[in-house]
Amino acid sequence: MQLERKSLAFGQLPATKGDLYVPDNWRKGYVQNIIFHNTNTSAEEVVLNYHDGSSEHPILKQTLAANDSFVLDLAGEGDVVQNGGKYTGNADTADKVTYKFSGTDEILSGATAGVPSNLWHPPTTPHAEDDEFEGTALSGWTGVKNITDGVVGSFSYGAVDAYDTTFNSGNVVRVNVNEAVRRSWANVQVPATNKLYSIYKAITIPTNLLVVARMKFNMRPAMGDNDSTLTLELVEATAGEPAYNSRIYLCLNESDATTHAQSQVQNSGGSFGSATNTTNVAAQGQALEYMATHKIGTTFHTWVGTAGGNWIHMATYSGLDFTPDMVALGFTNNNVSTPGVKICGVDFVRFFETDSFLL
């Protein structure tokens, strides 16, 4: 999306610290430069702070001579001011130092003030467990585990390499989070071992809960053997970790040489129930990119959705012999092929305590 550069804030500094730039509700700002000009006949000390929504931090203290200016240039896309964040500041004397913030901003919410509502927009009221992957690490997630072998793994941040043909062993999972070229995404690359690696965290699952994730993958149309499978799972933990049983899982890019979705349950004894599959959509690229599991009482529904917002009901499960208490994102790579080990990605994971499916 092309963002238009504009004036974000303009005014004169107060003598007592006050708000200088606060993004409009459900907008995220990118401050690219800030200009200060001292109109006083004597020197003024300029103080600039950033408040992240919970605490404030000084970032600039600069003395400007009479009739002097100072420009703070912020490289790249600029300094990100998240919804809830703000700049504050002051000078020695009120209304003597002029300031101007320039940059861009983008809308985060859905249908407000005529803005189209899209599935990827964050909800107006986020859930405490929501993850939009806007940090630099997988905060809030407990860890990663090789489910097939039952071995706890580790993360290697910033190491994803689409052209690496040698990443085919071990339990290290590569993750790049919220990069400038792919903001608000976690790119994930697991070893090409044909084993399931799950990123997981424990959650309190209420009576009604809708879990929704948006995911992507690399694919090789001529390659079979489940190249780059990814899953959304609700599981019952064993000793605080996911295990290879007691799980409801929903897959994208499942089944040899095809690209479709699959829903299945594995009971507490490890036995699989029958699989529900969508039709092959390999010729259409990744037509499916959303996954949802909806718990209503003791019944679970699984869904997959297209980029355009069409939803396909996959399966209904009830009478399970386990109680999910953990959410997991699973990834499998089966082979190394040109140009390298395939990459999956997660845009968000969101939680809605509701018995309605209104996406």
188-197 average pLDDT score:
92
Fold exhibited by the domain 7-107: Jelly Rolls (2.60.120)
Please give the pLDDT value at position 288. Answer: 84
Question: In this predicted model, which residue has the larger pLDDT, 160 or 54?
Answer: 160
Question: In this predicted model, which residue has the larger pLDDT, 44 or 137?
Answer: 44
Please give the pLDDT value at position 2. Answer: 46
Tens digits of residue pLDDT in 196-210:
999 999 999 999 999
Distance between CA atoms of residues 253 and 223, nearest Å: 11
Q: Which long-range contacts (CB under 8 A, 24 or more apart) does 301-304 make?
A: 301/357, 302/248, 302/250, 302/263, 302/276, 303/357, 304/250, 304/252, 304/261, 304/278
Residue 112 has pLDDT above 60, yes or no: no
Residue 253 pLDDT level (bands cut at 50, 70, 90): confident
312-327 average pLDDT score:
95
Residue 109 has pLDDT above 60, yes or no: no
Letter string b/e over residues 159-183, b meaning 16 or more CB atoms within 10 A of that residue's CB: ebeeebeebeeebbbbbbbbeeeeb
The whole model's pTM is what? 0.68
Nearest 5°: phi and psi at 269?
-90, -5
Provide the greatest CA pair distance for the chain: 81
User: If you average pLDDT over every residue of the chain, what do you get?
Assistant: 87
Tens digits of residue pLDDT in 61-87:
999 999 999 999 987 778 889 877 899
Residues 6 or more apart whose CB falls under 8 angstroms from that of 164 comprise 340, 341
Tell me, what amino acid is at 185? W
Residue the block writes with tokens 């599935």: 119
Instruction: Report yes or no: 36 and 26 within 8 Å, Cβ to Cβ.
Output: no
Tens digits of residue pLDDT in 264-299:
999 999 899 988 888 766 556 557 889 999 999 999
Residue 254 has pLDDT above 60, yes or no: no
33-46 average pLDDT score:
96
CATH node for 143-352: 2.60.120.200
Residue 17 pLDDT level (bands cut at 50, 70, 90): very high
93-107 average pLDDT score:
91
Domains in the chain: boundaries: 7-107, 143-352
Asked, colleague to colleague, whether 7-107 and 143-352 share their fold, the answer is yes
For the beta sheet containing 56-64, the strands, ordered from the edge strand earlier in sequence to the opposite edge, are 18-21, 86-90, 44-51, 56-64
Give the SS3 label for residue 282: helix
Instruction: Report yes or no: 341 and 167 within 8 Å, Cβ to Cβ.
Output: yes
Residue 25 has pLDDT above 60, yes or no: yes
Letter string b/e over residues 32-65, b meaning 16 or more CB atoms within 10 A of that residue's CB: bbbebbbebeeebebbbbbbeeeeeeeeeeeebe
Distance between CA atoms of residues 52 and 84, nearest Å: 7
217 bridge partner residues:
344
Residue 18 has pLDDT above 60, yes or no: yes
Q: Which two tokens stand for residue 152?
A: 């706890």
22-50 average pLDDT score:
91
Query: Among 47-56, 285-294, 316-325, where is mean pLDDT lowest?
Result: 285-294
